[in-house]
Amino acid sequence: MVDDDPLRMAVDIAWSVYRARHRHVDAADSRRCLLERHLHGRWEAGESDAEELTGFGIAYLDRLPDDEC
């Protein structure tokens, strides 16, 4: 079984940073699901470092349009 703790940590941190920058975004916003899918794909492609995944997640969220969801 693969250890997905780095993935979970990266999603949680990237989402927390994004919400701190965008106070109007609800914790249950569907962008979190998009973030999870994006980082899961990176993780399956072999990226396993939590810090790098976090950086990829923050960059991904910053590229999403405000009206994405």
Q: Name the band, by pLDDT with cuts 50, 70 and 90, for residue 1.
A: very low
Q: Residue 65's pLDDT is what?
A: 84
Mean pLDDT value across the chain: 91
Mean pLDDT of 35-51: 95
Q: Residue 66's pLDDT is what?
A: 72
Q: Which residue type, as a one-letter code, is found at position 45? A: A
Length of the chain as a residue count: 69
Spans of all domains in the chain: 5-63
Q: Name the band, by pLDDT with cuts 50, 70 and 90, for residue 4.
A: confident
Rg of the Cα trace of the chain?
12
Mean pLDDT of 9-29: 95
pTM here?
0.87
